[in-house]
Structure 1
């Protein structure tokens, strides 16, 4: 069944002719009728087969049109009003009308002038596509494939069944030619297009016109490089069409020109002053933004290795059995990577970082500080250079700060931003938006911060700047390195002393790194405190391999007969080695080799060989030291003889997902008896079967069930694994390297 009976194209040029050609190619329209200004164009369109018939007046065919038909207005923006007048005089109000103008406010005003209201059958739209050529001969059936079409329907269409039908028809037509259709507010559309489309055309037209009139260098175009050709290609666009666009969207375009002119003037001054750091900042920010834009066009996130986690569904199919042997190095520690960017940005001087984790979470933190005005070079194979701005040098971001799936970024930044003079908002992806933030918001409020979350204490987190913070003596209700670090960062800006006492030891990377940057703090037992008024001095940082990432391969070797894995340069911070202590308690053969200290952090090569595991009662004092590693420890317990009991781990229920429940359900599916409790689980060792398990988008759960296949009797299918790239970009490569047979399925 065809989508529409008749398509009437008013203006048979590139835009209108391409839609006609695309619908004809796909067999989605019974008849295509063209309306053009001249009989010559009409005849040419018929000869080329772009239309079945063509006329110079829409009144010649309006009596034929009904509710199954569509009129597409594809004339220059300032000519649309005259077309609307003709349509009103003769086209029935059950015929769907849409347009392709790149300025929607102007067309909206024309619609109101002509119809006196918002007609239910009029759906404004804008296909984001074009070319250097114009006219009927430029019609291209593939023009709209994988291009965006923005619809700007009238605001109340959803409540009107008839209006909704017309919007649906227009959306379906564009989707039928393989366009990506989105909806947008009219004013927002014009502001965005002024900046991203109209301004570039202004610059290109002006640049070519300027150089064409450079009488001092007549060969300027003859020897122009490829970059000039690529950039100025858009200056070959239809002059009349762009004249109309400039006049129709004048206010928004002038605003964009003013913004560009101010930035260009600042860049000119920077060059005059030979300010290399600021030049680097402009160029690195621009490169990062352009690279990110490229990834967005490809539906990818910060890392080119990962499809957009909110749009893609990745499944792992893991064959049973396999070995676990080899020497590997896992990526850099995520916690230290986050903090190296944060403290390096607040330091005075240049911080050089090696081993930076180029995963989604850490890259989100890096981008956030770029958005806060910090000059950051890289990352380039784990190397990053941060030009610190000092404790009071951050600048107000131009929009909300998006941190993706990173709870660490959002919680630590909340403390840091609470001490700034400007307002800020922290947002995240769908998963992060479900996670509790009052655990940091409430103590920050006690310090004098002004912080808003949603009614349930979840993101977005809105922070009012300019608040006078004061130090507090805070006793953590539960052990949390993120809350401790958040309050210490806020304490850098708070009057007096900020003291945090934890009920059990948690990772101390923030304290170690603060001292590495020369900031004084005190530690007495379970209490850490600092005074404001100090400074951070830049230093070099070598990020050790992440023990959380190493854990999956430690467990892989611990559960697999005849295994022997060595993990090099792994951080063994005493507040992070709970997984080593717990696995050793279960009987694992773990040897720490080549122990040393790098940048204030203890490091070692970890060798793990297979040994039979025994179920144990996990000591509660070890729980905070292994809080992120428990999904993998659950798998070790499933392969152990006897029963393993975990208590005191209620924090696992508020991670990326409820990790206790998720692991219990998955292990039960695989034939393992696992009884969840309020603060832990009781796991009975047994035989792991094959089956399909759900990771709930939690990267650690996905990786844990992947290594479980080493001891499974059948294939394990793990669903929703896209988030693995947030913490471990090359997990699947290393899994294959040590002997796991894994297929990645892009659903």
Structure 2
């Protein structure tokens, strides 16, 4: 039987590692373990490290002198302190001159500065060798030296390669193969940009850590300071245990970029110092809140880096069949209203206090975007936010692209706001969002005079938006007849119309959710609604106030269907938003004979709310009226579960919008339903489902033979609503259901599994990333 070891291709005949410290020895070990070179030799001034590496079987040969072992090497890896690199180049050139090395052998390094390495090579070689590929693995450890080596040190870490014009493409490709073979992700970057980035993200933090430890050590009472130092001090200063010689050399080698980073840091420190002296609570809370949120946001962005291949996302549900749900619960705040409360609160004059804010990843992406544009926002704290509005012309350009995560609402609505700003902007998201269509908002915005560039021939994100200062004129109001009812497109254009000259009118073919219109009115901005024509005049102002976000009917929908399809169930959902443009789920379930009642109806923040009680029901298959489709567009995945449990056929038409959501929800749901034993047919604009329900399901006893679904393995395609819908199916399943790709549930419904288990379901969450 052939081992995986034998299958690994040899990339090199002989690799020579120059320097057996942590990085050099770890890379040597990874090359050895992955069988990437026929021979492996090394050079290090510390002879005991070389001898030990040979004794361990890591090296075929080693020496303190390059000339003793380098002959015939087709890859040289320089892993010495940056100040010693020029001397190594001199030795390499001598080996080339005396015929020990081919002039086109690959030469690379692992140093954390790049401009000085390139300059050192230029000073030694008459012309840069065609095999010279500067590189830098973004990896390390607290301990250094040969004994600290780890073959897996580079797994899931980035390696930056500087692709010089003098370097052969084959050398770059070969080195990229090497790094990818040891588990790293390769990223190209210009040398000067690399040094500037690393000065801020690596060199400056190390410098500060060394300085802070020195500062505390110099105090007379340093014993108490170190004895009572909290975890934050220990975590931050851990990197001060790194090799002083290495960092001494780095600080001098990258002098210009580090000094620039220090000067910028000094300005920020002085600003914070003055805020404390002035006791400027609002500004200080804004600064601290932005920093806290940015750190969390960076975490989301970093977590999404391996999602380039979405199969890497590994969280899953294992759901044991259960029969009944009961209780009284409150689902999270409405996502649509949460988005808009941040947007309009940020653009308003004065302070806006928000309660019931949904702390899901989608809404947090919108929150972070406005913080990136200079808005001071306190919270979220148990659903509470305080937004210090900057007014209609107070947004500032973000220093980086605005990252929307998985939120299509954030990207499409923000495109309308940013199209009217004076500054340039870039909107981007995770891999899933960057595949979704954005021309549906970009094209009508261009009709208003926006300069907006989507990506690729499919018109996807990232979106690049040119500011009005560059364009030279404001947006112009238009009348736009929407081909498909879409609240996101409508809202995007209405928001752009706040700054446009004249009137912006959107004509929708069917009613779509009207949260934007309602909230604009709540902020004192007049909106004219004439049937399906919605108009707004540009040039007005928004005034801050209190916004109460009701519970999200889209989140409530999963529990409404859960109670309707399961035996002896009665579930009450409190203070759910029942905006008439969102109640399609209730209307459709009632047409299917669901037992639903609304109580305690009232208004909160301009939105109607009610307690919804739903009981076990004998559902009937129906032809879903097309006029209800836009009013339930997000709820159809779970309605497909209800239809599967109904008696007879359910037919959905007029739902093309479902094919361009987080996934093609029609195709993905059909695949999952068929996996669980449901007969369904995909049509161009909908789905036909043959229900397997039978009489007597309601309040009467349901026998095990009345299971509708089997068990099986469901792929959600990382669509939160797909994942939650198939979780609900477990209430009428006969066997275990496993759902892959459920981590995106947190975009709209953090705590879904816990709440589902609270009312009687049995969901186990597995996340291999933890």
Q: TM-score, normalised by structure 1?
A: 0.88
User: Structure 1, unaligned stretches of length 5 or more?
Assistant: none
The root-mean-square deviation of aligned C-alpha atoms, in Å, is 3.4
**Could you tell me how far 1:151 is from its partner in structure 2?**
4.0
User: Structure 2, unaligned stretches of length 5 or more?
Assistant: 693-707
Inter-CA distance 128–460: structure 2 relative to 1 (3 Å threshold): closer
Contact kept in structure 1, 2:16 and 2:43, CA below 8 Å: yes
Contact kept in structure 2, 1:307 and 1:722, CA below 8 Å: no
Counterpart Cα distance in 2 of 1:22 and 1:667: 45
- Check if 1:108 corresponds to 2:123: no
Paired position in structure 1 for 2:429: 428
Inter-CA distance 88–599: structure 2 relative to 1 (3 Å threshold): same
Alignment of 1:492-641 (within 5 A): 492-641=498-647
Inter-CA distance 728–450: structure 2 relative to 1 (3 Å threshold): same
Contact kept in structure 2, 1:123 and 1:151, CA below 8 Å: no
Paired position in structure 2 for 1:62: 70
Contact kept in structure 1, 2:176 and 2:186, CA below 8 Å: no
Alignment of 1:453-492 (within 5 A): 453-454=454-455, 455-466=457-468, 467-492=473-498
1:154 to 156, 163, 166: 163
| SS of aligned partner of 1:377 | strand
| SS of aligned partner of 2:206 | helix
Counterpart Cα distance in 1 of 2:62 and 2:225: 45
Counterpart Cα distance in 2 of 1:714 and 1:620: 35
Paired position in structure 1 for 2:725: 704
Counterpart Cα distance in 2 of 1:280 and 1:150: 37
Report which stretch shifted further, 701-710 or 487-496.
701-710
| SS of aligned partner of 1:223 | helix
1:92 to 95, 101, 123: 101
**Could you tell me how far 1:445 is from its partner in structure 2?**
1.8
Paired position in structure 1 for 2:178: 169
Paired position in structure 1 for 2:705: none
Paired position in structure 2 for 1:262: 267
Counterpart Cα distance in 1 of 2:582 and 2:366: 22
**Could you tell me how far 1:329 is from its partner in structure 2?**
1.8
Contact kept in structure 2, 1:132 and 1:237, CA below 8 Å: yes
| SS of aligned partner of 1:348 | coil
1:184 to 177, 181, 188: 188
| SS of aligned partner of 1:591 | strand
Alignment of 1:397-436 (within 5 A): 397-436=398-437
Paired position in structure 2 for 1:387: 388
Paired position in structure 2 for 1:144: 153
**Could you tell me how far 1:413 is from its partner in structure 2?**
0.5
Contact kept in structure 2, 1:98 and 1:125, CA below 8 Å: yes
Paired position in structure 2 for 1:647: 653
Paired position in structure 2 for 1:333: 334
Inter-CA distance 92–652: structure 2 relative to 1 (3 Å threshold): same
Inter-CA distance 418–149: structure 2 relative to 1 (3 Å threshold): closer
Contact kept in structure 1, 2:297 and 2:368, CA below 8 Å: no
Inter-CA distance 734–672: structure 2 relative to 1 (3 Å threshold): same
Deviations 1:127-158 (A, max 9, x none): 4455666666x745489376735241535799
| SS of aligned partner of 1:642 | strand
**Could you tell me how far 1:660 is from its partner in structure 2?**
2.4
Inter-CA distance 332–47: structure 2 relative to 1 (3 Å threshold): same
Contact kept in structure 2, 1:360 and 1:404, CA below 8 Å: yes
Counterpart Cα distance in 1 of 2:128 and 2:631: 62
Alignment of 1:26-105 (within 5 A): 35-37=43-45, 41-43=46-48, 46=51, 55-63=63-71, 66-67=73-74, 71-90=76-95, 91-93=100-102, 97-105=107-115
Inter-CA distance 533–160: structure 2 relative to 1 (3 Å threshold): closer
**Could you tell me how far 1:374 is from its partner in structure 2?**
0.9
Contact kept in structure 2, 1:153 and 1:167, CA below 8 Å: no
Counterpart Cα distance in 2 of 1:132 and 1:488: 53
**Could you tell me how far 1:577 is from its partner in structure 2?**
0.6
Inter-CA distance 308–600: structure 2 relative to 1 (3 Å threshold): farther
Counterpart Cα distance in 1 of 2:37 and 2:495: 62
Paired position in structure 2 for 1:726: 747
| Number of equivalences | 728
Report which stretch shifted further, 240-249 or 143-152.
143-152
**Could you tell me how far 1:20 is from its partner in structure 2?**
5.9
Inter-CA distance 238–742: structure 2 relative to 1 (3 Å threshold): closer
Inter-CA distance 245–329: structure 2 relative to 1 (3 Å threshold): same
Deviations 1:270-322 (A, max 9, x none): 3444322222222112222233445666x369xxxx99967413343434452
Q: TM-score, normalised by structure 2?
A: 0.85
